[in-house]
Chain A
Amino acid sequence: MDATTVLAEINGNIATVGYGLAAIGPAIGVGIVVGKTIEGVARQPELAGRLQVLMWIGIAFTEALAFIGIATYFIFV
């Protein structure tokens, strides 16, 4: 067995990498959304209510991709 074959050998299901990717994206997205909300509330605490709604809609869109990405486990063999 030559070196390239040894290096390229992968055990287990490659779909596992997909779950990792489906977790990275939303983690970064929600981190940015929440961090910016904290910034905004720190600058203008009286806008907390408005900023919460914007944060919530941002989280909703970000996590929608995560749900669909993780749920692809149902259809990909």
Chain B
Amino acid sequence: MNDARAEADRTPTSNPVLRRALAWGAVLAGVILVVSAVLGFVFAGVPGLLGGLIGTLMAVVFMGITAASILAANRFASSDLFVGAFFGIVLGGWILKFIVFIVLVVVLRDAEWLNPTVLFLSLVAGVLASLVVDVLVVAKSRLPYVSDVELPKAPSED
């Protein structure tokens, strides 16, 4: 009985939702990447194009890291240290992400080869679009209430 419980799949039910959100986020990122690059090129030339590309990539990658970190942390679902590992990985990933983001902002601010205004606008567009994708995916998701529960097996005859 104990062996059966230990072998049961304890992966949380959130994995498919997070995977779908990452996939749709990537699709929408491609669309916004093209739109912001074209608009940036029209209004600000090559620096605008690069600003649009980098801004969109920053928004989508940094917004996606949260879902990716939850997916990574869920791999430890069967571990005894799951709760600690989960919040350690998710929150540790979060703070690392913001440190990298601030460093990127400081470094790219004075770069001559991109347009900071286009970068900012495409970053805002990317962040908002990724929020829209997240909300739509969650709203359309079907998360069972009880799938993490292991139902008791019928007693065997012997």
Question: Which of A's residues lie within 8 Å of B, judged by CB?
Answer: 19, 23, 30, 34, 38, 41, 45-50, 52-53, 56-57, 59-61, 63-64, 66-68, 70-75
Contact = CB atoms under 8 A, between A and B. Distances in A.
Size range of the chain B interface in the assembly = 35 or more
A49 B135 contact: no
B146 A56 contact: no
B70 A52 contact: yes
Nearest to B116: A74
* Most chain B Cβ neighbours within 10 Å, of A19, A45, A52: A52
B143 A49 contact: yes
Nearest to B141: A53
Contacts, number: 102
B148 A48 contact: yes
A53 B14 contact: yes
B105 A74 contact: yes
B120 A72 contact: yes
B23 interface: no
B13 A59 contact: no
Contact of A49 (B59, B87, B108, B148): B148
B123 A64 contact: no
B13 A66 contact: no
A23 B95 CA distance: 11
Given A49-B13, A56-B70, A64-B128, A75 B101 contact: no
Interface of B: 12-15, 17-18, 59, 62-63, 66-67, 70, 74, 83, 87, 90-91, 94, 98, 101-102, 105-106, 108-109, 116-117, 119-120, 123-124, 127-128, 130-131, 134-135, 138, 141, 143, 145-149
B12 A52 contact: yes
A21 B123 CA distance: 20
A39 to B, nearest CB: 12
A59 to B, nearest CB: 5
Given A48-B14, A74-B116, 6 more contacts: A30-B94, A47-B148, A59-B66, A63-B98, A70-B105, A71-B119
A52 B14 contact: yes
Contact of A67 (B18, B91, B123, B138): B123
Given A52-B14, A53-B141, A41 B83 contact: yes
